[in-house]
A and B are shown apart, each in its own frame.
Chain A
Amino acid sequence: MARTRRTRARRRLSNLVMQVVMYAAAAIATLPLLAILAYLLIKGASAVSPTFFTSMPQPVGEAGGGMANAIVGTLILLGIASVVGLPVGIGAGLYLAERRSAPLASTVRFLADVLNGLPSIVMGIFAWELLVRPVGHFSALAGGIALGAMMIPMVTRTTEEMVRLVPVSLYEAALALGYTRWRTSLTIVLRTAMGGIVTGALVAVARIAGETAPLLFTAFGNQFWSTSLREPIAALPLQVFTYAISPYDEWHAQAWAGALVLVGLVLVISAIARLATRKRPGGGD
């Protein structure tokens, strides 16, 4: 009897201990994010001013200056990436959702996941080999395409998931009314799933917005104002990188400011993405 009681006490204790361990793990895991956000706010906020968004980078030794060119550059790169990545991703996603378990669909789905896990630096040297080496100079176009290629598998998988949520009855109803398949897919199915697809697209854009490695040898960065797609172009993450590894205090401050703006951009896009999912496909919740 006493032994049973001891066992029970020990089991209770181990239950309690493990519970505490799990709480501790959750606390430790959330700590780095809070630390990073705190540093970004403290160090970045003092360097961000309205002129940060409107003026150009200053040479070493001169305080102030901004990253107007890098902010515009990042927006241009994201634009190119979306033009490249969205149509292909959405088309492939429709294909996967409609063919579900066809052998080709399973293969493509698997390869999309593999592609999604490729190191971004690999995408960078690939884009360099195909788009920079032959023409002999870095370009915004090469950087945007590299980012767009990274978007394809992400957009494909979210589009597939969202289209799959559209009730089959809706599809069948449209066909029964005499709609052709392609019109049903493009007007009924796609429109119903649009909220989710927009969310997926925005999440993908948010993820590539901070990518640096694919741009190192493609967009390359630019200290001057350029919006030409054929020229090297500045980008926020590249600028943060260059300034962070430089030995100058003024540039370090600019790096924190750029980092704060970049994280702000990523979070704003993510927040908009969350709002878009409020409208779930098929009405309902």
Chain B
Amino acid sequence: MAALRAEPRLGDRAYDVTTTAMALVIPALLVTILVAIGIAGWPALRQFGVGFLTSSDWDPVNGRFGAAPAIFGTIVTSAIALVVATPLALGVAIFLSEFSPAWLRQPVAFTVDLLAAIPSVIYGLWGIFVLVPMLREWLMPFLRDTLHLGSTPFFSGPAYGPSMLAAGLILAIMILPYISAVTREVLLAVPRSQREAALALGATRWETIRDAVLPFARSGIIGGVILGLGRALGETMAVTMLIGNRHEISLSLLAPGYTMASLIANEFSEATGDLHLSALMAVGFVLLLLTILVNALARWLVRRTAAGVR
């Protein structure tokens, strides 16, 4: 289009300046967020240093703040979410792109997409009144007593209901559509010839997927999973409502805990004093850096696959 450009006119100049300015809002916004939250969290980070990330002593009354339990809880709940959601999401995506009869494709894709449209707070509501009672009455005793997993530290202790397990499971439901949407897109981008070549060699449908389609789509799929991880790390409302909000590191998934996001949501409006507030901002800053890193990695992987396929 550059070749078509006539001599610069005032209107064109104004148009260019305006759209460029609006495009620049995006980097400016990101930088402002980083700087504002970084500055607000700085007093706490300076006072506690590395101890802020490693200490589990969160004591607003005596002005000591260590975010280790929240960081631990964030990692554990996200891990549960990924372990549960990834195989299901891959299954759905492969089903939709390779196995599904045509009449079933639209309804299933629509349903899964709809999962992404449900607000977080509604997942929380459903979690409190449906998922948590179900866990307390059924799944937790089943895991702990019937399967005797209670003898391991991971499923021991009382089953209150609100727990890292509950938060992790709700996260799994919430990130499933994101992972499956990206995976499906990547699978659809795998050239037809790739499949046809394998089928022509006598491969079954599953062998075609396993040996010809999935390897081609691998880094895009990994990108999709990491994108899901990014969502899980920062998800706030549903987790706040289900995790039990307790500052303690427990290996047991049945125990309540905290995540970085739920810690902020829960304590921010009742922060006692400037240092408490700064500590919460610092937690936000750590979460911010973590999600930026994870998202950048995911986008890079997805884009690389898409470019390679093209």
Residues of A within 8 A of B (CB): 11-12, 14-15, 18-19, 21-26, 28-30, 32-36, 39-40, 43, 87-92, 94-96, 98, 104-105, 107-108, 110-115, 117-126, 128-130, 149, 152-153, 156, 168, 171-172, 175, 180-183, 185-186, 206-207, 209-213, 216-217, 220, 237, 240-241, 244-245, 252, 255-256, 259, 262-263, 266-267, 270
A107 surroundings in chain B (CB, below 8 A): 27
Further contacts, 17 of them, CB under 8 A, given A114-B30, A128-B268:
A19-B206, A26-B108, A35-B130, A40-B122, A88-B25, A113-B295, A119-B233, A119-B261, A120-B120, A129-B40, A168-B1, A181-B6, A181-B12, A182-B11, A240-B122, A244-B121, A244-B241
Contact A126 B241 (CB under 8 A): no
Shortest C-beta distance, B53 to chain A (Å), equals 18
**Whole-angstrom CA separation of A108 from B288 in the bound complex:** 18
Which one of B15, B130, B231, B280 contacts A125 once the chains associate, using CB atoms below 8 Å?
A: B280
A18 surroundings in chain B (CB, below 8 A): 206, 209
Contact A26 B95 (CB under 8 A): yes
Contact A111 B27 (CB under 8 A): yes
Contact B11 A180 (CB under 8 A): yes
Shortest C-beta distance, A257 to chain B (Å), equals 11
Of listed A87, A104, A244, residue having the most chain B CB within 10 A: A244
A156 surroundings in chain B (CB, below 8 A): 23, 26
Closest 10 CB pairs of A and B: A25-B91, A210-B119, A119-B234, A91-B22, A182-B15, A117-B295, A15-B204, A95-B23, A95-B19, A22-B95
Which one of B88, B230, B234 contacts A120 once the chains associate, using CB atoms below 8 Å?
A: B234
Contact A186 B36 (CB under 8 A): no
Shortest C-beta distance, A150 to chain B (Å), equals 10
Please give me the residue from chain A that is nearest to B237 by CB atom. A212
Contact A213 B11 (CB under 8 A): no
Interface size class, chain B: 35 or more
Contact A115 B26 (CB under 8 A): yes
Shortest C-beta distance, A95 to chain B (Å), equals 4
Chain A at the B interface: SS class: helix
Which one of B96, B121, B124 contacts A26 once the chains associate, using CB atoms below 8 Å?
A: B96
Shortest C-beta distance, B213 to chain A (Å), equals 12
Shortest C-beta distance, A172 to chain B (Å), equals 7
Shortest C-beta distance, B278 to chain A (Å), equals 11
Contact B281 A125 (CB under 8 A): yes
Q: Mark B223-246, 1 if CB is under 8 A from A, else 0.
A: 000010011011111000100000
Which one of A114, A122, A149, A183 contacts B296 once the chains associate, using CB atoms below 8 Å?
A: A114
Which one of B15, B209, B241 contacts A186 once the chains associate, using CB atoms below 8 Å?
A: B15
Contact B18 A91 (CB under 8 A): yes
Chain B at the A interface: SS class: helix
Shortest C-beta distance, A203 to chain B (Å), equals 9
Please give me the residue from chain A that is nearest to B234 by CB atom. A119
B91 surroundings in chain A (CB, below 8 A): 21-22, 24-26, 29
Q: Mark B273-310, 1 if CB is under 8 A from A, else 0.
A: 00000001100100110011011101100000000000
Shortest C-beta distance, A265 to chain B (Å), equals 10
A110 surroundings in chain B (CB, below 8 A): 296, 299
Shortest C-beta distance, A140 to chain B (Å), equals 17
Contact A121 B122 (CB under 8 A): no
Contact A108 B26 (CB under 8 A): yes
Please give me the residue from chain B that is nearest to A43 by CB atom. B129
Q: Mark B97-116, 1 if CB is under 8 A from A, else 0.
A: 01110000000100110110
Shortest C-beta distance, A239 to chain B (Å), equals 10
Which one of B15, B25, B37, B125 contacts A256 once the chains associate, using CB atoms below 8 Å?
A: B125
B206 surroundings in chain A (CB, below 8 A): 14-15, 18-19
Of listed A26, A32, A88, residue having the most chain B CB within 10 A: A26
Please give me the residue from chain B that is nearest to A207 by CB atom. B117
B287 surroundings in chain A (CB, below 8 A): 119, 121-122
A115 surroundings in chain B (CB, below 8 A): 26, 29-30
